[in-house]
Structure 1
Amino acid sequence: MNKWSPRFLAIAVAAAIAAPAQAEIAIDVINGSEVSLEGLIQADGNWFHNDVQDLNAATPAGNDGKDSEFEMRRAEVVLKGKGGSFDWTLGYDAKANKYLDANIKWKLGTDYLMFGQYKQPNSLEELSSTRHNDFISKAMATNLFGVARRTGIAYGNDTPNWGYQISAFGRELTRNLAQGAGYGGRFYWAPMNQTGSIFHLGVSALDYDTDFDTQRWRVRPDADFATVRLVDTGNITNTDRIRTIGAEAMWIGGPFKVQSEYLTSRVNRTKATSAGDFTGNSWYVYGLWNLTGETWGYKSGVATTPLPEDPAAGMWQLGLRYDATDLNDVPVRGGEEKNLTLGVNWYWRSNFKFMVNYVKVSSSRYSSTLRREVDDDPSILEARAQFYW
C-alpha cells in the first residue's frame, strides 16, 4: 500500500485553518449554473490484535506485516454545478485513482432523469455521504452486497415523504473496476418527517451479470486496511446473474438515531454446472447518540448530518453497531462473522472530523485442511482524521 505523506496532510490542515469554515467553495456562475468545489481528505490508522490469522499479513498485499497500518484513505475533489433545469457533478479520488460521481441530472419538478456515473439504488449506508459515515468502516452488509457507482441512466422522484429511483447500468467509469450490466430500483417512505422526528422505511432490488462468469463474496472484518478476509466463499464458477434484495429502516428522535439494513444476494449458476445456486446474507443495526444535542435532517431518502451548534466545542457522537454475515450455503462454506463496534465521533467547527472505533470480531469458517470449523476472534482499534470542505 502507498503510504500517505505527512507533508501533504500538514499542508491540507494549514489550508483548512487559514480558510473560512464552510462546506464548499463557490467558484463562479456560468450560464445560470452555480459552480462550486468540494473536497475530502481522510487519514486512517488501524491497530490489529490478531487471534489466528494475521489481519495485516505482508503477502500478497505487500504490507510490512506489522500489527498497525497508517495510510491516506481518501483524497477526493468534486466539482459541482447547480441551477436551472440541470445539475451536474464531476468527482475524482486521487488516492484510489478513480472517478466518483460523474453525471448530469435533468430536473423535472420533483422528478429527475440522470445520465452518467452515480451510486446505484441500493443500500442506505452506501447512498449516505462518505464524509458523514457514522463508523470508520461501513458495515459488512454494505461492503459485501452494496453496488456503488456505475455508469447508466436513472429515473426517479424525491418528495419530502417518499421517493423512488429505477436504474439501468453497466460498468464503472474507471477501467478495470466493477463490471456487469444490470438494472434495479429503490423505493422509500417516510411517514414521519419533521425536525427531530423521522421514521424511514425502504426496499431495494438489483439484478446484474456476474463478472467473467465468476463470483467471489468476501469482506474485511470492519477494518478497511486489513489484508485478510475471515469470511470468503472463494471463486464460485459458472455463474450467470446476481440478484440482491434489501430492506432498510431508520428512526430519528431528537439526538438519537437507530438504523438497520438487511441484504441478501443470490448467485444464479448456468446450466453448464450441476452445482446449485448460492445465497448469502448480511445485516446490521446501530444506534447513534449526539451527546451535544443536535439532530439530523432528511433528504432524498437519507439522513443528513448537521453542523455543530457550538462550532468551537464541536459535536460529539457515541455509536454502537452490531453486524453479521453468513456466507455458508452448502456446498460453499464461506463462513460466518459477527462484529460489535463501539465508536466516538467529534465534528469540530465546519471542516474537521475525528473518529475512534473499537471492533470486536467473532468469526467461524470451515478449514478443508483441518476438516473442521476454525474460530478466529481478533479485535481492532481504528482512528480517522478528516478534513472536508
Structure 2
Amino acid sequence: MRFERVCWGALSWLALSPAWAADGGYSVLGDWPVKVVSESGIEAGLKGNFSYDVARFDGAPGFADGDAWRRQELNAYVRKPGVFELTLGYDLHNEVWLDNFVRVSGAAGDLRIGQFKTPVGYEESAVGTTATTFMERALPVTAFYAGRRLGVDWTYEKIPNWYLNAAVQAGGDLLGDNHGRTLGARAVFNPVKDDAQVLHLGLSASNEKRDDDTLRLQVRPEAFLTARRLVDTGALNRVEGISRYGLEAIWQRGPLLLQSEYLGIGVDRYGVADYSADGYYLAASWVATGEKRGYKSGAFGNVKPSRAWGAVELAARYSRIDLDDAGVALGGRQSDWTFGANWYIGQHFRLQFNYVWTDAARRGVELDPEIAQLRAQVYF
C-alpha cells in the first residue's frame, strides 16, 4: 500500500545521504539550513512537521483499517532572541491555524499577543508535535484540552528553577470557534536540574466561560485514524463555567524518563447538577542508544541522535479517564496501554510504532480493541 511505499522510498533516499555529504552538500541526515541570520542577530526561518500514519484495528466492531496524513504543519518565524518574535503557523491537512502571535521579551519577562495554546495539560500545552514520545497524547490530555485561543499571556523565567506563565484569552480562535473567555496559569519548579538529571514538578489551572453554555467531553483511543469515540458524555447544557486543573511530575536521568500527569475538570451548571471528571497517565521511556532529551522553558525536547544511523527509544504508557458522574452523565470509563518504539534517523526523520490495547465501558457496553500503528515523520 501507499504507506509502505513511502517508507521504503524515504529510507532509500536516506541511504544516499552520506554520498551527498561527501560531495560537499548538506547531508539529509544532518542539520538542514532552515533559517538565515542577519548580522544584527535577526533570524528568519521555517519549522515543519509532516506525519503519515497507518493503523490496523482488531477486536471491536466499527473500526476500519486505514492510512492517511496525520499532520502537515508549517510555521514561519522572524525573531531576535531575547527581544522579539513573530510566528505564523498552519496545518494544511487538518485545515486549522496553529500558533500565530507576536512576542516581546525584556527584563519583566515575555509578553505574547495572538493565538496560542491554553496552559493546562503538559503534554498538549508545553510539548510540540515533533517531540512527543508516543504517536498520540494520553486519554485525559486529549479529552480535557481546551485548544488554542486568541489572547495575551506573560511568561517569566528569571527566578532560578522556576517557569511561570499566565494567560487571558477571549473571543474564540482564528477559525471563529470557541467563543468565550479563559483565564489560565501554569507554574513549574525544578528542585533538581543539572547535566545528570532533571526533576520537573508542575501545577496548572484555568477557568473558562463559554458563550454557548455547552460542553461535550469525548475521546478516541490513542489512535487518531479512527473517528470513533468509546467514551462520550454527550452534550452538557446550562454550563456556567468550566474549571480545569493539572498536576505534572517528570524525572529524567540520562536516557531514562519517567512522566506522569493528573488532570481534572469541573463544570458549574445553572438549574441542574454540576459535573466533574478526571484522568491520569503514567509513562516511561528509555533511549537504548544513550541519548537524553534536552530541557528548556519547562518542557522536554526531542531526542537528537549522536550516531550516524540514529537513535532508538522504547516506551510504555498507561492512561485512564473516567467520564462517569452519577446522576449527571454516564460518559464511560476507558484505559489504554500503549507500547512504543521510535527510530530517530538523523536530525529530521523519525519512524514510530505504537501498539495500543484499549479497555472501555460505557452504559453497560464493553469494548477492547487492539491497535497497531506506524508513522513516518519528517520534521525541522
Q: 1:114 to 1:176 in 2, by over 3 A?
A: closer
Could you tell me which of 364, 373, 376 is aligned with 1:382? 373
Q: 1:108 to 1:259 in 2, by over 3 A?
A: same
Aligned position for 2:359 = 362
Deviations 1:9-56 (A, max 9, x none): 9799969967543266114539752111121110011111132x413x
Pairwise CA distance, 1:173: 3.5
Measure, in 2, the Cα distance between the counterparts of 1:320 and 1:43.
22
Instruction: Name the amino acid aligned to 2:111.
Output: L
* Alpha-carbon contact 1:195-1:297 (below 8 Å) kept: no
* Alpha-carbon contact 2:97-2:175 (below 8 Å) kept: no
Aligned position for 2:298 = 301
Aligned position for 2:51 = 42
The equivalences for 1:1-389 within 5 A come to 20=27, 21-22=30-31, 25-27=34-36, 29=38, 32-51=41-60, 53-55=61-63, 67-83=64-80, 85-109=83-107, 111-126=109-124, 127-159=126-158, 161-210=161-210, 212-270=212-270, 273=271, 275-310=272-307, 312-331=308-327, 332-366=329-363, 373-389=364-380
Pairwise CA distance, 1:133: 0.7
Measure, in 2, the Cα distance between the counterparts of 1:149 and 1:31.
33
Aligned position for 1:58 = none
Measure, in 2, the Cα distance between the counterparts of 1:228 and 1:241.
28
Deviations 1:261-307 (A, max 9, x none): 0110011112xx3x201101111010000000011221111112231
Measure, in 2, the Cα distance between the counterparts of 1:99 and 1:172.
12
* Alpha-carbon contact 2:35-2:44 (below 8 Å) kept: yes
Deviations 1:246-266 (A, max 9, x none): 100100011100000011001
Moved more, 11-20 or 341-350: 11-20
* Alpha-carbon contact 1:24-1:38 (below 8 Å) kept: no
Pairwise CA distance, 1:75: 0.8
Aligned residues: 365
Q: In structure 2, the residue corresponding to 1:237 is in which secondary structure?
A: coil
Q: In structure 2, the residue corresponding to 1:143 is in which secondary structure?
A: helix
Measure, in 2, the Cα distance between the counterparts of 1:266 and 1:248.
18
Instruction: Name the amino acid aligned to 1:318.
Output: L
Q: In structure 2, the residue corresponding to 1:142 is in which secondary structure?
A: helix
Deviations 1:41-97 (A, max 9, x none): 10011111132x413xxxxxxxxxxx3111111111111122161122111111112
Instruction: Name the amino acid aligned to 1:150.
Output: R
Measure, in 2, the Cα distance between the counterparts of 1:161 and 1:344.
32
* Alpha-carbon contact 1:24-1:37 (below 8 Å) kept: no
Any gaps of 5 or more consecutive residues in structure 1?
A: 56-66, 367-372
* Alpha-carbon contact 2:218-2:231 (below 8 Å) kept: yes
Measure, in 2, the Cα distance between the counterparts of 1:191 and 1:344.
30
Measure, in 2, the Cα distance between the counterparts of 1:258 and 1:24.
33
Q: 1:110 to 1:73 in 2, by over 3 A?
A: farther
